[in-house]
Each structure stands twice: as structure tokens, then as C-alpha cells.
Structure 1
Amino acid sequence: MAHGEADPSGRQQTLLVLNKITEILNAFTLTRPAMTLGEIQQTTGLPTSTVQRLVSNMVAQGLLDRVGDHIRIGIRMSYWAATARKDVDVLAVVNPVLKDMRDETTETACFFTVEQNFRVCIAVAETHHALRREMYVGKVIPLHVGSASRVLLAWNPALAEKVLSTPLEQLADRTVTSADELRALIAHTRSDGYAITAGERDDSASGLSAPVFDSAGDILGAVTISGPTLRMPRRRCEEWIDLLVGYAEQITRTLGGRPPNPSPAV
């Protein structure tokens, strides 16, 4: 090989190592933010010796953090993610994902954020069905009803307590108006990592929502699939849980977000 000429085998080996590092990082999800070495090995399918060697090196470089027997994404990654996200347009990331969700489920997909004591739809991909729930960019909805509200409160305890301290208006037959009951449902949502509701805002409508997080691990918004309960009974919503959570995690990762540190529920 001539002097100064790159070694193709060396480049190939570097790419193989990078692929394995990527597999390890991708093994962590918002619903599984911490794992043991054995769990990482089972998830990735990489040889145990490879996992042990790469994880040790990744911990040393700050890509991963080790707490006892468990490994999680390193805090140093948040620093890099914050830089990456600085000029990222949230809607430019969210809108294509919502269209994919709409096309896969055939139902309306939305993204909600918090504005004072309300949630606001900032992006939507509408269903092509003639029978649909009314939804549009800018729609304002009270924070005590629906799956998106449940998610937005579950990872914002201070806001949840603020909402729970006010009268909860009855908007539909199944609206939760008891602060104690809603507090328990919010805690359940945080434990599950998603929320399913039906008939809380509209008597004949259902919703399924999951959280999106920013680089600090704070909740950024809720991604939602919504539609008539006729097409979205509880069973159908449960079938879409993995799909929805996967899309929510995709948005979080693309925006440079990370799972929040475990903390007590409301």
C-alpha cells in the first residue's frame, strides 16, 4: 500500500464499531431508560464480551452513565443534544411524523403543547375519513380532559397540582371531575408511559397519547392519535400503543431529547 493511502480494512472496522455503538444507544428507550449489561446484550444481540468492552469505553467517554448495575444514556449526551437542537424547527420534525402516523392508522394525528392552563394543538395531520373529530392548529382544550392532557400533566407535577386545585368542569359524560381520581389517573399515566381516554371531552371520541421530551428531560409536548370511538375502541387503542410510543421516541431523539430521570408521580 502506497504511503498516505487509507487502509480500507481499517475504515471498515471503524464503521463496524460505530454500528455496534449505535445499536447499544438505540437499545435505550423512553420506556426502558436504564438496563443491565445482560439486558443490553439481549436487546442488541451483540456478544457479551463486545457489550462489556464497548459499554465500559462508552461510560469512560460519557456516552453512557453507570449507576450500580444499571446503565443509562450519559448526561454528556444532553450537552451535545442541546447544541444540535438549538436551530431545529420543532414543527419541521413533528409534521412528517404525524403524517406517517395518520397514514399508518388512518386516524388524525396531533401534537399538543401547554399554554397556561390549556393545551394547544400546534400540528395536525387529519384523517381522510369523512367521520372525524374536529381538530385544527390553534385549537385550545382544557388541561383536565383527554389523553394528551393526561400526558402533559403526568410529567409536569407543578402544573398538575395547579390544575387539580381548580374546579374540573364537566365537558362530557365521562369527564373526570374528582381531583383525587384525576391525580391517580395522572400517576398511572406516568407509570405506563402513555394515556388512553374515551368520552372525556366528546362523548363519542377516543384518544391515545405519549410524551415527547426535550434535551433537559422535561416534557415538550404530547403526540396523539384521535378519532371516533366507533373506529377507536379501547382494544384498537391498545393495539397502537407500541406504534405511538415508538413515534414519540423518534420525535424526542430527532429533537435531541432524552428520557427524564425517574421521579415520584403526582
Structure 2
Amino acid sequence: MTSGPRTATGEIIGILGGMGPAATADFYAKLVATTPGTSDQDHLRTVIWSDPTIPDRTEALLGDGPDPTPWLLHGGRVLREAGATVIAIPCNTAHAFVPRIADHVGLPIVHMIGEAARHLTTLRPRIHTVGLLATTGTVRAGLYQERLESFGIRLALPDAAAQDAEVMAAIHAVKAGTRDDTATALLTRSAQRLTEQGAQTVIAGCTEIPLGLPADAVEVPLVDPALILARALVCRARAAGTAEQDDGGAMYCTQYVT
């Protein structure tokens, strides 16, 4: 039996991205950084479909824009035809539409929000209250509320005014390519209010938020679901490699897969 990274397997990661492009690029950088290895050959084979024409997910959920499901379904099929064996979607709000495509793309989808919720249950001391910074679409769809409540974790949210004037304003700024002190100050202010509500950790529940909010700007741990998703994909690929090479894998990854 050999030791070391087990990523040269039949597993091919398909990234369904473009929501937005900077967040997709950041996610791939996290996937690379999370993969252990000393050479190119140790890394994961990856197919990226970055489609920024996918309609805005929050607008769709609020009834102000077209349904992005056809675009997401098409992207999933493009990834499958390109050889992907599993799909990752580095967009929190897009997960509201995953149930509509999961049975039609022909590939498993590793669920970023499910992975983040499971991660929170592993933290010690035990987490009872979590703050969430996310798009209004993610909040309204209850994507984190539903999963965290099943674990007995209370969710603290910004009030309506802060959600619009701080969180969404900062997200739009990052999407527009503006990563300055103003966006950071807005997100920091909202995060501070969440800690005042008792949040023991804050979820960066939009993949643009880590681009505008450094972890050290928050007085409690900042949980990045995109990073957790990257780690889950690496674990999955390495487990597959162990199983292929060792006739039964000495590694097991608990995952939320649709």
C-alpha cells in the first residue's frame, strides 16, 4: 500500500459556477489550496462551467426575476457531458433550486449548505446560536434555518434594514468588483450585531462575503461554506482513491449529497 494523496482517481469534480464569477474563481482556489500534495499530479481533475448569464437567484425567489432552473439544469448537463462525476455549486442561494435539478442532471450534487450545517455540529464548545450573513433570497428561502433547526441550533439574522443597507449592499459591491473598506465595514457592522444577539459563530452564507469580510474582522469564528465544500470534495475524491487502490477504503466522508 502506498501513502500520500489519493486524488488521481476516476472522480472528476464539476463546478457549476458563474454565480458570480469572482466567487467561482475563489472557490476553485480554495479547492486547490485544500488539496494535499506536492505536485500537479496530486490535484483533482476539475471541470468548471462558469455561466454568469444564470438569472439572479434572489430576484427569482422574491418573484422579481426569471427562474434560473433551466440554466442550472443545462450547466449540470454540460458538466456531465464534459466528464464530471460529481457536482459542486459554490452559490448558497442557488441551493434553493437544487431540488428541481437533482433528479435530472444524472450526477450527485454535494450540498454546500448541508455540509456547512454538519460542520457546525462538530464544533466545540457546542454551538447553540449561529449568525447568518447571506442574500435575502437565501434568508427568505430558509435554506440554513431548516437544516440548523434540525440540529437544535438557533439562527440569528440581521434586521430588514441592515439586510438591505449593509449585507446586500456589500454583496452587490463585491459582485461589481469593488472590494474596499466600505464593503468590509458594512459586513463587519452586521456581523457585530449578530454577535450581540448571541451568535457564537457567523456563517458567510454568500460566496461573495468572504471576498469582502476578512475572518479577523469578526470577533467570533467566521464559517466559510465554500471552504467546507472544498474540503468535502477533497475528502470524497481521496476516499474514492483509497477504495480503488486498497480494495475498500480506509477513509470515510460523511456527506450531504443529493
Larger % of strand: which? 1
Q: Identify the structure with the greater helix proportion.
A: 2
Higher normalized contact order (CA 8 Å, seq sep 6+, divided by chain length) = 2
State TM-score, norm by structure 2: 0.36
